[in-house]
Each structure stands twice: as C-alpha cells, then as structure tokens.
Amino acid sequence: MLERFKPAARRAAERIGRVLADAGVDPNALTLVGLILNILVAVVLAGGYLRLGGLLLLAAGAFDTLDGALARVSGRTTRFGAFLDSTVDRYAEAFLLGGLLLEATRRQDTAVELLSFAVIVGSLMVSYCRARAEGLGLDCEVGIAPRPERVLILGLGLILGWEVIALAVLAALTHVTAVQRVLHVRALTRGVENPRRPASQSEFPP
C-alpha cells in the first residue's frame, strides 16, 4: 500500500537522521523516546480523545522511523538495536490498542472491545511469525499489513471517526498477514526437511 511512498519517506527520515547524528543522539535512546510518545498517545485514546489520538498516532508513527534512519546514516546499526526496536514496537502497539480497549470498556462498547482484542492478537502474531521464521534462518517480510500500514489505517480511521471500520479492517488484515507468513514459511521449507526425521517441537523452542 505504501510502497510507492517508502523511498521518499526513507530519504526524508535519513536527512533528519543526519542532523540527529551530528547532535550525537543515540539511536536506542530515540527508540525509547518513541515508546514514550506512543504511551502518551495511548493515554489520550483511553481518555476518549480519539481524533486527537489519531493525529498524534500518525505523528508518533513518523517519529518511529527516525531511530532506524539515524542508525543507518551514523553507521551505528547493531543487532541489539534491531532487537530493541522490534520489542519496543510490540509494546507500543499493545499500549495503543490497550488505550482503545479501555476507552471502549468505559463506554461499554462491546464491538470495539472485541475488535481491539482481535487486532492486538493479530498484530502480535504478525510479528511473531516473522521473528520465528528469522530464528530459523528464513526471510519472512511478506504480507499485506506490516506495521506502517497498520498505523496509517488506525490513525486515519480515528481521525475520520471510523473507529469500528478501522479496527475491523485491521483485525482482518493482521490475521490474513499472519496466515500469509505461515504459508510463506511452509513454501520455503517444503522439501527441505528430512522426511525420515521430522523436526520435533524440542528442536525449535518457542
């Protein structure tokens, strides 16, 4: 969905990254600042300010790209930095959707409660499928709803007052993406496993 805009967005983020690099900003510190911003957005959403929360969510989503850009332009990309970024992203999503869940609970809106829960599970499974595949040495960056698209859909949905529609779309897309990744890994591993000695659960711990 966003593929045509990604090169321009990447260049813009790297220009800002060079300024931050000159200022001596640490990429991991920027990652943690991004988490704080997402927690603040979650508080705004939990308070019922959904349109404001949507605007802030898009701003926080744009900010989330800066840590990676800073790491690239400063030559400070590390495996721990990539691990920290992915971990923080999962917490950020959980906080944001938790904020919506709390707000829906206050209004006793069962539809939003259930959809928020479904999106939380779907988002975590999308990330888990990729992480689990990479743990097996497989590339798994496939699917129709990676994180930037999810942030955009939710942010615009909240701004336009289409909370239920946005959550329903995300619930569907996240689980479809998880299934796409499962099928992708199945295709990559088909015919590779030793048929006489199938992999057991103990060989691939969770």
Q: Which residue has the tokens 């220009």?
A: 15
pLDDT number for residue 49:
95
Q: Which two tokens stand for residue 159?
A: 């701004």
Phi and psi dihedrals of 144, rounded to 5?
-90, -5
Q: Which residue has the tokens 């321009």?
A: 8
Helix and strand totals (H; E) in the chain? 8, 0
Q: Do 85 and 30 meet the contact criterion of CB atoms below 8 Å apart?
A: no
For residue 113, what are the CA distances in angstroms to 15, 52, 96, 203? 40, 20, 13, 37
What is the radius of gyration, based on Cα positions, of the chain? Answer: 18
26 is catalytic: no
pLDDT number for residue 2:
54
Q: Which CATH superfamily is domain 3-189 in?
A: CDP-alcohol phosphotransferase transmembrane (TM) domain (1.20.120.1760)
Which residue is catalytic, options 22, 89, 109, 139? 89
pLDDT number for residue 27:
86
pLDDT number for residue 192:
67
pLDDT number for residue 62:
83
Taking the C-alpha atoms of residue 50 and residue 48, their distance in angstroms, rounded to an integer, is 6
Going residue by residue through the chain (206 aa), what tens digit of pLDDT does each one get? 556 666 776 777 778 878 888 888 888 888 899 999 999 999 999 999 999 999 999 999 888 888 888 888 888 888 898 888 889 989 999 999 999 999 999 999 999 999 999 999 999 899 899 889 988 898 888 888 778 888 999 999 999 999 999 999 999 999 999 999 999 999 999 876 554 444 444 444 44
Burial class (CB in 10 A: 0-12, 13-18, 19+), 100: buried
Residue 196 DSSP symbol: T
The domain limits of the chain are 3-189
Residues comprising the chain, all counted: 206
